[in-house]
Structure 1
């Protein structure tokens, strides 16, 4: 840390901490250089980095408590939450070691009833991201999020674990089933290929897990692939294959990977296609290719991860409250403006409608709701393809995600058509 001397002898750590307290309250991760500058401006004395660090640490403890006391405080805080809000959910696990009378913290899961209730109106997809918490102890924070109807991140639950084991992951998924998913079926879990998650999902499927599908984050998959095979061409082909919706396209790109690097091809073929390709996904991702949503929310909380555990939980609580307050104001304003659709879905529909207006459509099996669509033939040589849409089966020969684009262009085109619904005109 260096020499802790510097400044006037009366300018001790406690005095520095007293000056820093109001700034630490606003910015928990207040930089050391800013601490030195603040003392210099106030007392015209230069303090060493070591002294500024210790002063900041003392101020931090005055505001947020120390780590040891915080773990004891956490259970009391959770109990207070439950006392004033009976639907608050928390699940604990402690370990008892031989020779120690005191139980040792291992795991805590918590969520809020409004999050659980509103998840029923979100896409049936859950994204998980884990990160190590900065501080004295090596603990891990798990963030679980969904996506609402407007495409916004929707926080669902949080977990703090002391060890990253198969048993911990299994407990976590069980609590997620029990308190968040509840009786909702057909839920997709998107995560990286962490061994704990893979093992836990395998165990869960032995007793009919509510997670009907487990899909891999394509960005994590690509990063692992890039570390193993350092080739821009291979990585581009991997992404193109993963995001292809038509069988002929994915077969072509897989063949190019095979010709470029046989081991890279074998690496991919050892992973089930439904885990990482849209072609075999059957629309279960609902447009979510990565765990970016949970990682983005995790990024917002980065400054809190250096705080004591109870303070971190309190900050998350405040963020959840603020989330619902802001969303409530947003929804009320939409009602005042008489907007029947959320902005993002409406924008998407308008994009599809505009695109569909350039295609020709033929309803040739009226009773079966089957349509032939010929896409617009652009001057770039693209388009001019014929696709068959079966509205009853919610399928299209284009192979696009059935959960996100089923008949979307046909429906958008139909909205502009004559009252009979069938249109053969080219717009």
Structure 2
């Protein structure tokens, strides 16, 4: 089993780190940044007083919606009507029916007595006479409503939310919809519950309800990390020639790294793709965060062709060097006369060092998209950015130097920034590797 660590601390590489069989490990606490920090500070009372709804920009935090009185005076389906003699398969079904009725009719209940043979509840409003009593029938688990005083003197709840509308209730209410559409957002869940039950819950309740159903359908994040070693073994067993490795921290065996390349990708790259590899990464936004590393090739039509991917706890120079060492081992095992590679990436030092160490004969170039984005952030001048692209695409050294002189006429700082980048790594006039408009070199 494999556990997920709490922090993203950069630990030194351990040449002796084992993969695959990591033993039975206890799962550590979740990464603190993976929780919904915006809502954790709310008390139960505050959650009732506010219906929380996120804006499009989650960094702005949830938006407060003005409370609306939830009156009990509404048309209620016969599905939620309780009568004396009504029977239920067991005590849990009985309690569930009473709870659903209280939610639908907008009053809260207080349990008076609950055991294996009896269940008694009353309206939570002070002085309200509504009361219900159910009991188990002899010799069977069936529960039956024995008495009910179906009269309220209260006006119903006058706050948002509902004491009986727990996270589990939310999950069971929207389970069918989430199974059909797992991409349903918490905001849509809130709208559906308000429309069907007339109550307004907090965004956090909807989010947690969805998480509970998704865990039941897909398994939890924690369980996913635990079964990674077994998954890697199955990949290599059922896809001979594939490489699947998972690594844990040597101290606590919490998840650290994952590298996977399927044999179909390896075979396709070696036999049908150009000797050109692009490196990229993207941030994972699940509960435990992390970073996804990608190594992509290019087929004969210039389309992207997946070669390998890795998952790490965070993007560091050390993790990039590790990923490139895995990629080098992959290619070394599967090629006898590999042509000289061209590798394109951003300017991160770990990538540069990893390419120099693992692929010393490869042509290494910087992706111009990354270079231009960094340049734009630094100088915020579209004219200079256009000139930078013209310099990068110049076919001769003379044309390249002419464009740099034009940049210098506009900004001395900009041309100094550019000249710090070795032109052999980004300028077409100097680059010796494979050129392709799709690679943004």
TM-score bracket, shorter-length normalisation: 0.5 to 0.7
Q: After superposition, give the CA deviation of every residue in 1:132-156 in whole Å (9 maximum; x if it has no partner).
A: 2112324111122122122322111
Per the alignment, do residues 241 and 164 of structure 1 end up closer, same or farther by CA in structure 2, a change over 3 Å counting?
A: same
Q: Return the match for 1:179 from 302, 305, 330.
A: 330
Q: Distance in 2 between matches of 1:30 and 1:180?
A: 41
Please list, as runs of the form range in 1=range in 2, the aligned pairs for 1:69-108 lying within 5 A after superposition: 69-97=223-251, 102-108=252-258
Q: After superposition, give the CA deviation of every residue in 1:81-136 in whole Å (9 maximum; x if it has no partner).
A: 33333333112322222xxxx42221110011111111131122111211221123
Q: Return the match for 2:311 from 160, 169, 172.
A: 160
Partner of 1:122: 273
Partner of 2:380: 230
- Specify which structure has the higher proportion of helix: 1
Q: Give yes or no for the alignment of 1:132 onto 2:283.
A: yes
Q: Distance in 1 between matches of 2:241 and 2:185?
A: 39
Q: Distance in 2 between matches of 1:276 and 1:26?
A: 48
Please list, as runs of the form range in 1=range in 2, the aligned pairs for 1:138-157 lying within 5 A after superposition: 138-157=289-308
Per the alignment, do residues 281 and 21 of structure 1 end up closer, same or farther by CA in structure 2, a change over 3 Å counting?
A: farther
Partner of 1:343: none
Q: Give yes or no for the alignment of 1:47 onto 2:198.
A: no
Please list, as runs of the form range in 1=range in 2, the aligned pairs for 1:297-376 lying within 5 A after superposition: none
How many angstroms does 1:277 deviate by? 0.9
Q: Distance in 2 between matches of 1:64 and 1:263?
A: 53
Per the alignment, do residues 96 and 220 of structure 1 end up closer, same or farther by CA in structure 2, a change over 3 Å counting?
A: same
Q: Distance in 1 between matches of 2:165 and 2:240?
A: 48
Per the alignment, do residues 257 and 22 of structure 1 end up closer, same or farther by CA in structure 2, a change over 3 Å counting?
A: same
What stretches of structure 2 of length at least 5 have no aligned partner? Answer: 1-38, 49-159
Q: Distance in 2 between matches of 1:28 and 1:129?
A: 28
Partner of 1:36: 190
Q: Give yes or no for the alignment of 1:65 onto 2:219.
A: yes
How many angstroms does 1:28 deviate by? 4.2
**Which SS does the other structure have where 2:189 is aligned?**
helix
Q: Return the match for 1:248 from 398, 401, 407.
A: 398
Answer whether contact 1:189 1:215 (CA < 8 A) is retained. yes
Per the alignment, do residues 22 and 147 of structure 1 end up closer, same or farther by CA in structure 2, a change over 3 Å counting?
A: farther
Query: Which of the pair has more CA radius of gyration?
Result: 2
Q: After superposition, give the CA deviation of every residue in 1:370-414 in whole Å (9 maximum; x if it has no partner).
A: xxxxxxxxxxxxxxxxxxxxxxxxxxxxxxxxxxxxxxxxxxxxx
Answer whether contact 2:298 2:304 (CA < 8 A) is retained. yes
Q: Return the match for 1:169 from 308, 315, 320.
A: 320
Report the count of equivalent residues: 283
Task: Give TM-score, length-normalised by structure 2.
Answer: 0.59
**Which SS does the other structure have where 1:109 is aligned?**
strand
Partner of 1:425: none
How many angstroms does 1:7 deviate by? 4.6
Task: Give TM-score, length-normalised by structure 1.
Answer: 0.61
How many angstroms does 1:187 deviate by? 1.3
Answer whether contact 1:24 1:63 (CA < 8 A) is retained. no
Q: After superposition, give the CA deviation of every residue in 1:57-78 in whole Å (9 maximum; x if it has no partner).
A: 2112212322222210222222
Answer whether contact 2:278 2:439 (CA < 8 A) is retained. no
What stretches of structure 1 of length at least 5 have no aligned partner? Answer: 292-427
Q: Distance in 2 between matches of 1:63 and 1:284?
A: 46
Q: After superposition, give the CA deviation of every residue in 1:279-333 in whole Å (9 maximum; x if it has no partner).
A: 1123523334439xxxxxxxxxxxxxxxxxxxxxxxxxxxxxxxxxxxxxxxxxx
Q: Give yes or no for the alignment of 1:268 onto 2:424.
A: no
Per the alignment, do residues 149 and 21 of structure 1 end up closer, same or farther by CA in structure 2, a change over 3 Å counting?
A: farther
How many angstroms does 1:254 deviate by? 1.1
Per the alignment, do residues 26 and 279 of structure 1 end up closer, same or farther by CA in structure 2, a change over 3 Å counting?
A: farther
Alignment RMSD, CA only? 2.3
Answer whether contact 1:190 1:290 (CA < 8 A) is retained. no
Q: Give yes or no for the alignment of 1:204 onto 2:358.
A: yes
Per the alignment, do residues 153 and 259 of structure 1 end up closer, same or farther by CA in structure 2, a change over 3 Å counting?
A: same
Per the alignment, do residues 81 and 43 of structure 1 end up closer, same or farther by CA in structure 2, a change over 3 Å counting?
A: farther
Q: Distance in 1 between matches of 2:179 and 2:240?
A: 30
Q: After superposition, give the CA deviation of every residue in 1:216-240 in whole Å (9 maximum; x if it has no partner).
A: 0101111111222222221111111
Q: After superposition, give the CA deviation of every residue in 1:178-223 in whole Å (9 maximum; x if it has no partner).
A: 2247432211111111122122223335xx45xx111101011111
